[in-house]
Amino acid sequence: MTTPPKSHLFYQSRLRRPMLDQARGVYMWDLDGKRYLDGSSGAMVCNIGHSNEHVLEAMRRQMEKSTFGYRLHFETEPAERLAEKTAALAPDGMDKVFFVSGGSEAVESAIKLARQNAIALGEAQRWKVISRQPSYHGSTLGALALTGYAPLSAAFDPMMRPMPKIPAPRAYLDHLDASDEATGHHYADMLEARIRDEGPETVLAFIVEPVGGASTGALVPPAGYMRRIREICTKYGVLLIHDEVMSGGGRTGKFFAAEHWDVAPDILAISKGFAAGYVPLGAMVAKNEIVENVLDTGGFLHGYTYAGNPLACAAGVAVLDEIERENLMENATTVGAELKAGLNALMERYEIIGDVRGLGLFLAFELVCDRDTLEPLPRELNAYNALVDIAYDKGLIIYSRRTRGGYDGDHFLVCPPMISTSAHVGEILDTLDASLREFQETTVN
Ligand code: PLP
């Protein structure tokens, strides 16, 4: 047993896993020497794999120079370089980068910048941020108010200002053709209806995960959806915020997932794959005029002590360099196609797989009771934990959730690092196959 019998640590639950010893590439080892394939890149974080020597070397070099420079006292070269690189990756006209230490902070920053922009424009009556159900935007109270996932938010409802929600597109559950633009427009038009109901003059922003993360399990929007959403936001003067905390960083095959639909937001949030787990880092990127409006009218009333930390930014620069040097986004597309084909092949053999979805190496499958009705497995089966535990025992890490709100369903994210090879894909699929077989034999029957 590698977990200490008594620990002073606590997290969300009493779940305790073995002690991590080391991690290299796509593999991790516990203190007993057992090897695991990191099939979810942690929580869709370690996009370039573990212990990358170029990133470690860049961090060592920066550590020898300085590890902290408070922003009221110094500018730092790593922060300047990372901001320049990030702006170059962002859509045209989004050249302003604000560093934070994680996804929730990036989302908080986006909402507060949007709000101050409205005030600067003399539109202080705009404060509502519409989001989707289900969705996940973070655990701090501001980001949680936007999160459409009641198990996490309900306890805190009295402490938060309720924010309007519209349903996330669920074409596969509604038996609609996701490749038909009419389907995308059907779901996007729910946003227009909601803006009108709320009173357009009160709506500040709409926040959307371009490819859904843990909340929906790699939900890819139907054709026409993202573009229509952009048009509606522009029509009503509502700022469009893309939460690319999980979908950004390259694993869909593009650095920002919204590039797949050639749509640009007004503000975006990024974290996770941005520094790939080497350090806590995130950023909010905004249109130049929004930032100018806010800075011209008293400044941005927001900030964090560790924003732009030089060590974190040096790691971020090295991660972006590595993605480019090793063509990891191209690899995510190629290897992702192999993995998706393999998951589809598993779906042909296992009736309980109701859907396989995702882009690049941002992939998921969903378990159901009945493939035709897509009725979820009974909640008592606790399938989302059971299958993860079986795979874990066999040395494969995957990430799961039971979606709530709109529909109930167990989905499993299969998102190995972007350095994965065909051999790794084979190993993942073989272990999943064995795990699904055992799950069927021991849990479903
Ligand atoms: N937004 C999205 C889409 C996420 O997936 C997450 C985390 O999973 C967050 C925000 C919050 O990020 P963090 O946990 O780093 O605060």
Q: What is the pLDDT of residues 15-73, one digit of tens each?
A: 889 999 999 999 999 999 999 999 999 999 999 999 999 999 999 999 999 999 998 99
> Is 235 among the domain residues?
yes
Same domain for 80 and 228, yes or no, is yes
What pLDDT is stored for residue 275 in this prediction?
98
C-beta of 214 in contact with ligand 1 (< 6 A): yes
Q: From ligand 1's centre to the CA of 188, what distance in Å?
A: 23
> What tokens appear for 246 in the block?
């999980």
DSSP string, 143-174: HHHH---HHHHGGGGGGS----EEEPP-TTTT
**Count of CB atoms situated within 10 Å of the CB of 261:** 18
In 3D space, the residue among 300, 307, 305, 321 whose CA is nearest the CA of residue 76 turns out to be 307
Is the pLDDT assigned to residue 325 strictly greater than 90?
A: yes
Please state the rounded mean pLDDT for residues 323-342: 98
CA distance 276 to 386: 28
In 3D space, the residue among 408, 418, 15 whose CA is nearest the CA of residue 215 turns out to be 408
Give the pLDDT band of residue 192 (cuts 50, 70, 90): very high
> What tokens appear for 438 in the block?
């055992």
What pLDDT is stored for residue 443 in this prediction?
86
Ligand 1 atom closest to the Cα of residue 243 is 3
Give the pLDDT band of residue 142 (cuts 50, 70, 90): very high
> Is 5 among the domain residues?
no
Inter-CA distances, 261 with 210, 256, 258, 276, 294, Å: 9, 10, 6, 24, 29
End-to-end CA distance of the chain: 31
Sign of CA dihedral 428, 432, 433, 435: positive
Question: What residues make up the domain containing 281?
Answer: 56-325
> Is 4 among the domain residues?
no
User: CATH code at 102?
Assistant: 3.40.640.10
> Is 6 among the domain residues?
no
C-beta of 59 in contact with ligand 1 (< 6 A): no
Return the half-sphere exposure (C-beta side, CA atoms, 13 A cut-off) of residue 195: 24
Inter-CA distances, 158 with 12, 112, 153, 161, Å: 21, 21, 10, 8
Instruction: Give the contacts of 364 (CB within 8 A, at least 6 positions apart).
Output: 217, 218, 356, 357, 358, 411, 412, 413, 414
Is the pLDDT assigned to residue 1 strictly greater than 60?
A: no
Same domain for 350 and 320, yes or no, is no
Same domain for 110 and 230, yes or no, is yes
> Is 147 among the domain residues?
yes
Q: What is the pLDDT of residues 249-297, one digit of tens each?
A: 999 999 999 999 999 999 999 999 999 999 999 999 999 999 999 999 9
CA distance 255 to 251: 7
Same domain for 284 and 299, yes or no, is yes
Q: From ligand 1's centre to the CA of 438, what distance in Å?
A: 32
Give the pLDDT band of residue 399 (cuts 50, 70, 90): very high
Q: From ligand 1's centre to the CA of 44, what distance in Å?
A: 10
Same domain for 177 and 191, yes or no, is yes
Look at residues 325, 341, 375 and tell me which one is the last residue of a structural domain.
325
Ligand 1 atom closest to the Cα of residue 214 is 5
Same domain for 210 and 358, yes or no, is no
Q: From ligand 1's centre to the CA of 168, what distance in Å?
A: 17
What dihedral do alpha carbons 376, 251, 227, 124 form, nearest 10°?
90
Same domain for 321 and 338, yes or no, is no
C-beta of 107 in contact with ligand 1 (< 6 A): yes
C-beta of 213 in contact with ligand 1 (< 6 A): yes
Same domain for 353 and 252, yes or no, is no
Residue burial 203-230, b: 16+ Cβ < 10 Å; e: rest: bbbbbbbbbbbbbbbbbbbbbbbbbbbb
Query: How much of the chain, in percent, has pLDDT values that exceed 90?
Result: 90
Ligand 1 atom closest to the Cα of residue 280 is 15
Residue type, 85: K
- Domains: count for the chain: 2
CA distance 82 to 154: 37
User: CATH code at 361?
Assistant: 3.90.1150.10
> What tokens appear for 288 in the block?
């130049």
Give the pLDDT band of residue 190 (cuts 50, 70, 90): very high
Instruction: Report the mean per-residue pLDDT for the chain.
Output: 96
Whether omega before 310 lies within 30 degrees of 0, making that bond cis, reads no
CA distance 336 to 321: 21
Give burial (CB, 10 Å; 0-12/13-18/19+) of 283.
Answer: buried
Same domain for 348 and 295, yes or no, is no
> Is 157 among the domain residues?
yes
Tell me if 284 sits within 8 A of 259, measured CB to CB.
no
Q: From ligand 1's centre to the CA of 246, what distance in Å?
A: 7
In 3D space, the residue among 258, 240, 159 whose CA is nearest the CA of residue 195 turns out to be 240
Same domain for 415 and 400, yes or no, is yes
Same domain for 79 and 190, yes or no, is yes
Is the pLDDT assigned to residue 422 strictly greater than 80?
A: yes
Give the pLDDT band of residue 2 (cuts 50, 70, 90): low
> Is 14 among the domain residues?
no
In 3D space, the residue among 85, 54, 48 whose CA is nearest the CA of residue 361 turns out to be 48
Look at residues 325, 346, 364 and tell me which one is the last residue of a structural domain.
325
Is the pLDDT assigned to residue 390 strictly greater than 80?
A: yes
CA distance 138 to 242: 14
Q: From ligand 1's centre to the CA of 25, what distance in Å?
A: 23
Tell me if 89 sits within 8 A of 246, measured CB to CB.
no
What pLDDT is stored for residue 406 in this prediction?
67
> Is 117 among the domain residues?
yes
Please state the rounded mean pLDDT for residues 171-181: 93
Give burial (CB, 10 Å; 0-12/13-18/19+) of 183.
Answer: buried
Please state the rounded mean pLDDT for residues 345-362: 96
Same domain for 219 and 297, yes or no, is yes
What pLDDT is stored for residue 12 in this prediction?
87
What pLDDT is stored for residue 388 in this prediction?
97
Look at residues 292, 325, 358 and tell me which one is the last residue of a structural domain.
325
Better-scored residue on pLDDT, 14 or 413: 413
Tell me if 93 sits within 8 A of 73, measured CB to CB.
no
Give burial (CB, 10 Å; 0-12/13-18/19+) of 316.
Answer: buried
What pLDDT is stored for residue 371 in this prediction?
87
